[in-house]
Chains A and B, each alone.
Chain A
Amino acid sequence: MIRAGYREAAEQPGFAYRDYSPDEARAIVERALANEPCPVEEDQVEDVRLNLDLVQRRSSAPTTDTGMSVVAVTVPSMRMSNATELTDDHHAQLAELGLRVDHLDEAIWAGVDARASAPPLGPTNGAGLLDWIHRVGRLREVLVAEGWTRVDKWNAGLVQHPTKPVVLGTLQGNRHTGTLGAPLRSDYAKGPAIAAMMRGNDRDQFTLFDSLHTHEWKLWFLVTYPHQEGDRLVVLREVAQPEPTPQGQVVDRWAHRITLPPLVFGPLPTPRGTDGPDDIDVTVTLRG
């Protein structure tokens, strides 16, 4: 724990442990920020480069009723220049598929929240894997609650609409996710299950939504692409139907794309359905 680590450090001769009020701590931080950063070791230089901006933001943000400055975690609805505004047309297109924006937000948020729990020394793909697991899980939870059915053939992680010929999955896209006309492609090649499910998909954009009245299942994806912009996590997003794509190939041809504004998260996403805070348990090694 941080506090235990500090107390242990303070047991060394010449050091003393101190508790601070939020105002006292803030004053110390503000005084330090008024001076030039002074990292010495290579890792200190890197730490300061990566984290000083966050410290400055915390110090300069509006003060809360707790007396400490913090940065609010926000979801700007329409702030990015590479995505369109949320319009009635977006809502109508999603409704054609039996979807609402809040279904998608729930899933994306669950994935982002799960990323934060990836251990720093875990596998390098740990955060992305947790994101996918929770994104799929939450998406299916909210839709199954509204009558959809989970589809686990070949562990594909899909969910099927109760009446429309719509099957929905999740997919990681690229930086063009959410930008209509830009070359969207999947991050990974698709396996046999997804390839098989795409066989009935449309082959061009001119069949938009008419195809929903056929009897052939159409596989759609909630396509997301998370990336860091400063201290914010930005998730580009859209709902898209790929053209039929052979097994082993990345998906880069799309029959339909419903591009949506990105979700922008602050550095510290807040979990929904909270039960109150747990203890902080972080080991701190002091460096001189």
Chain B
Amino acid sequence: MRTIGRPRVGACFGYADTFGSQEGVALTFTYGRKSHALVLLIDYDLGGGVKDCSSPTAPT
């Protein structure tokens, strides 16, 4: 297996409500000129699992 590239982690940030019921977190990665992110929504009222997640890649 030949590795041709490896993404680099960029900024990580998020938001949370002050009652601790929900939290959003974004992890960004860069690959040369390309950027990519993982965006998660975590719901602590529903057990603390992933309520939503996406992987936006294209600029808008």
Residues of A within 8 A of B (CB): 2-3, 6, 9-10, 14-22, 24-26, 28-29, 31-33, 35-40, 43-44, 47-48, 51-52, 54-55, 58, 64, 66-68, 70-77, 79, 113, 116-120, 267-284, 286-288
* Contact A22 to B12, CB < 8 A, known contacts A32-B40, A54-B38: yes
Query: B3, B22, B28, B54: which contacts A73 (Cβ < 8 A)?
Result: B3
What is the number of contacts between chain A and chain B, taking CB atoms within 8 Å? 224
Q: Can you add 18 more A-B contacts, CB < 8 Å, to A9-B24, A21-B12, A48-B51? A: A3-B11, A15-B17, A28-B42, A32-B40, A35-B49, A37-B51, A39-B50, A44-B51, A54-B55, A67-B9, A68-B12, A75-B1, A116-B57, A271-B32, A274-B33, A277-B8, A280-B28, A283-B60
For B, the interface residue count at a CB cutoff of 8 angstroms equals 56
- Return chain B residues, CB-CB under 8 Å to A55: 38, 40, 50, 53
Name A's interface SS: loop
- Return chain A residues, CB-CB under 8 Å to B36: 268, 280
Smallest CB separation, A279 vs chain B (Å): 7
